[in-house]
Amino acid sequence: MRTERRLHRLEEVLRHRQPDLTVVMENIHDPHNVSAILRTCDAAGVMRIQLLYTTTEFPDIGKKSSASAKKWIECRRFSGVEDCYRTLHGEGYSIFATHLEESAKSPFEIDLTRRIAIVVGNEHEGVSSEAATLADGILQIPMFGMIQSLNVSVATAVILFEAVRQRICAGHYDKAKLSGDELARTLNEWAMKE
Amino acid sequence: MRTERRLHRLEEVLRHRQPDLTVVMENIHDPHNVSAILRTCDAAGVMRIQLLYTTTEFPDIGKKSSASAKKWIECRRFSGVEDCYRTLHGEGYSIFATHLEESAKSPFEIDLTRRIAIVVGNEHEGVSSEAATLADGILQIPMFGMIQSLNVSVATAVILFEAVRQRICAGHYDKAKLSGDELARTLNEWAMKE
């Protein structure tokens, strides 16, 4: 009985997963932030993310309480921007980096229902100039205050949940995006996790 | 010259302030979260927040780097829900608490351009049942993952920036909401801060 309810729950979550929405974390070092971003990704239905660590080690998030989100998100590691972007472009993603610049677009004004990868950067330095230059577009959240930036996990959440809002409106959570085979295979993997 | 540019910047921020959008933080104890929420409030144009601490002390955020946002947000302290809500109702706010329950509405579906106070709760226990029961409505962010909650500073940001999105569409940042007198008085106070 318990197993059946559990499987049902896992399948429900998989039916809501959005394989066409992904995140690239570039050199984010604070485990609180990594942890909060993974939790937000899980809630938004993100299936897989890219850990792009060119200058720092991937932080140890194993001991954080919300590290449990990590269990349900596939993480791919890259150590170079070009390699990461080539892979994502090969999979059909448009790549948008968050960066402060004149040509930046508001996430409220662009179509986030497309196949898209959002690049978020280091707490102190933001997204690297290489990651910004090679991206297909630049995103900037409109801000009206004295402080000219947001916490990186907050900024990621604002963009991902704008994607969620647009995708709810467009019916993207109404039926499974994974193929029958992928869904069955992933369900099987997930069921083994506990 | 420098002073003039500075005054111009302060006035620009004050012209975007939204005195009809406010937050109640109930017993949030982690200084990282308090700090991230203040920074998000500043960016969204929130002018004043309520610190409702019924069970814990107000955390010391003085030493955090982003504590600088605190300088630009007026904080009122309350130690009881009734007192806090009476004050807000007296000022014309509708009070919406974030809480997991059947009757909850999605922030994407309600009008956040109205005069509104958003109540966010403690990291472990969420909003108290008193704060939920006495609120005018309950908000819940749609979530599609395995983990059934978001970090509190992330949840606050998702709701506040949905308010920002709605308010940009409705032209709320296009002209000052503060009266000429309030604007001049606050500008004077702010100019003294540095």
Give the pLDDT confidence of A156-188 residue by residue, as tens digits.
999 999 999 999 999 999 999 999 999 999 999
When the pLDDT of each residue in chain B is averaged and rounded to a whole number, the result is 93
Token pair belonging to A93:
């993603």
Q: B146 in contact with A at a CB cutoff of 8 Å?
A: yes
Residue B31 above 70 pLDDT? yes
- Element at A114 (helix H, strand E): none
Per residue in B83-137, pLDDT (tens digit) is 999 999 999 999 999 998 888 999 999 999 999 999 999 989 999 999 999 999 9
Do A141 and A159 meet the contact criterion of CB atoms below 8 Å apart? yes
Q: To the nearest whole angstrom, how far is the Cα of A146 from the nearest Cα of chain B?
A: 6
- A-interface mutation test, from B140, B151, B175, most A Cβ less than 10 A away: B151
Query: Could you tell me which residues come within 8 angstroms of residue B170 by beta carbon, excluding any fewer than 6 positions away?
Result: B113
- Quickly count helices (H) and strands (E) in chain B: 6, 6
Q: How far from A21 is each of A148, A150, A161, B161, B189, CA to CA, in Å? A: 27, 22, 11, 20, 45
Chain B hits for A31, Cβ within 8 Å: none
CA distances (Å), origin A82, targets A85, A124, A185, B130: 5, 22, 30, 53
The answer to whether the Cβ–Cβ distance between B142 and A45 falls below 8 Å is no
Tell me the mean pLDDT in the region B172-178: 96
Q: How far is B82 from chain A (nearest CA, A)?
A: 30
Q: CA dihedral in degrees (B8, A154, B131, B63; nearest 10)? A: -70
Is the pLDDT score of A66 beyond 80?
no
Tell whether the model's pLDDT for residue B64 goes beyond 80: no
**Cβ-based contacts of A69 with chain B (< 8 Å):** 145-147
Q: Give the pLDDT score at B67.
A: 54
B61, pLDDT greater than 70:
no
Q: What is the DSSP string of B78-144?
A: ES-HHHHHHHHHHTT-EEEEE---TT-B-TTTS--SSSEEEEE-BTTTBS-HHHHHTSSEEE-----
Q: Judge whether A44 and A160 are in contact, CB under 8 Å.
A: yes
Q: Is residue B158 within 8 Å of B53, Cβ to Cβ?
A: no
CA atoms of B110 and B170, how far apart (whole Å): 14
* Chain centre distance of CA B148: 23
**Distance from chain centroid for Cα A20:** 10
| B26: nearest Cα among B99, B112, B131, B115 | B131
Q: Which residues in chain A (7-66) have CB-CB distances under 8 A to chain B?
A: 9-10, 13, 16-17, 32, 36, 39-45, 66
pLDDT for position B109: 97
The β-bridge relationship of strands A94-98 and B21-26 is unpaired
- Asked if the Cβ–Cβ distance from B162 to A157 is below 8 Å, we say no
Q: How many CB pairs lie under 8 A apart between chains A and B?
A: 127
The pLDDT of residue A129 is: 95
Partner residue facing A66 (CB), from B43, B141, B147: B147
The token pair at B75 is: 């904080």
Q: Tell me what pLDDT residue A61 has.
A: 67
Find out whether A91 and A48 touch, Cβ atoms under 8 Å.
Answer: no
In this model, does residue B65 exceed pLDDT 90? no
Q: Which of B32, B44, B146 sits opposite A144 (nearest CB)?
A: B44
CA distance B64 to B68: 8
Express each pLDDT in A104-154 by its tens digit. 999 999 999 999 999 999 988 999 999 999 999 999 999 999 998 999 999
Q: Closest by alpha carbon to B26, among B135, B107, B116? A: B135
- Nearest Cα neighbor of B134 from B94, B101, B106 is B94
Identify the pLDDT of residue A64.
Answer: 52
Task: Give me the torsion for CA of B178, B179, B185, B188, rounded to 10°.
Answer: 60
B62: pLDDT confidence band, cut at 50, 70 and 90?
low
Bridge partner list, B139: B98, B105
